[in-house]
Amino acid sequence: MKKITILMAASLMAVSAHAQTSEEVPPLPAPVVYSPTIVEDVNPGPAPVEIDDSQKKDYEHYNKVFKTTFKGNEDLAFLKELESWLGTPYLYGGTTKGKGTDCSGFVMTAYKNCYNIKLNRIATYEPNDCNKVGRNELEFGDLLFFANESGYIYHVGIYLANDIFIHAASSNHIGVRTETLKLNYYVKAYYSAGRVKQLDNRTRSQQETSQSVVDNEITAIEKRNEEEKKSSSASTDTKPKEAAKTYDDYEQIFGVHFKGGESLEALKELSEWLNTPFKSGGSEKGVGCDSPGLVTSIYKDVWKISLNRDPEKMMKNLSKADKKNLNFGDIVFFKKNNTYPIIGFYIGQDKVAYASVSKGVSLLDINTVRNYNLHFCGHVPALNN
């Protein structure tokens, strides 16, 4: 009886074990767990560039300073450099932060300070330092060039973002500030743009495409200017408006507020002489001249008046003028020993155009001359100012 009981118990245990094994086959599938580890195992492509909190604060700061919205990939070091120039007064020929600068001096020095890149000192020649970009391709740091109707580049600025740029404004000696390209004046004066060659990361094909785009833009601008000239000459009703616009143009070029009675032809002639290299005894526009050559050429080309190149003889044919009451076209003589190192054509607000040995034809504030004595101010009798 005892043996039967034991056999029955063993049998029951075997059945129970078989049942338990059958229930475990097949095993239940493991539950799907969605975790960061599983996502990381799948290659999602390049991760977006992240900006840390300190950089976010920097860009927010510059958005407020320059009154625009940056993308977040602009060079913070260059933004800092540009901010440090804000408020620097306008000074023709200047390049000093906080003290005085002109448009090309600001651009040249800012790029040198931040990137140690040497750009041309004169706005007219700074396009040579750049690869051209189209108006719709502008990026932070691109240079913007502005020209008169003849295509003479007289102003330059640095593009920031969203049609905002920074430049040294000559009007009323305002100096370095931000401006919008949407202003009517800059819409008309805009000529071209360029990306500094050392910082241009575009491929050759992209650059060639941009070159074609810019060439088309310039052609369109020149065509528009020609049409405006034809329209102006065909209708006398448009002449007063054209004259007002031209005076505004020349205020930007010379940094002088004109009264409105100055000779537009003389202003045009003077603008074309700017940056002509110094050449003793010369009188050829764009090639070389000295101060007597500049003054006598302007009088001959604009008013058909012949003046003697010799300073002593020239002064004898002039009526004496008061330094405190000079008029456009008056001639100013500075003397040292028996020479006249400065003979200037007066344009207004104490500025004269003359031929500098180092800078060529440029502008000078007569109140800043220290090494020479003001000897004589004269008025050409044939002019009615």
Query: Mind telling me the catalytic residues?
Result: 103, 155, 167
SS (H, E, C) the chain: CHHHHHHHHHHHHHHHHHHHHHHCCCCCCCCCCCCHHHHHHCCCCCCCCCCCHHHHHHHHHHHHHHCCCCCCCCCHHHHHHHHHHCCCCECCCCEECCCEECHHHHHHHHHHHHHCCCCCCCHHHHHHHEEEECHHHCCCCCEEEEECCCCCEEEEEEEEECCEEEEEECHHHCEEEEEECCCHHHHHHEEEEEEEHHHCCCCHHHHHHHHHHHHHHHHHHHHHHHHHHHHHHHCHHHHHHHHHHHHHHHHHHHCCCCCCCCCHHHHHHHHHHCCCCECCCCEECCCEECHHHHHHHHHHHHHCCCCCCCHHHHHHCCEECCHHHCCCCCEEEEEECCEEEEEEEEEECCEEEEEECCCEEEEEEHHHCCCCEEEEEEECCCCCC
Distance CA 172, CA 366 (A): 17
Is-contact 275 253, C-beta < 8 A?
A: no
Cβ atoms of 309 and 296 within 8 Å: the answer is yes
By C-alpha distance, which of 159, 178, 174 is closest to 100?
174
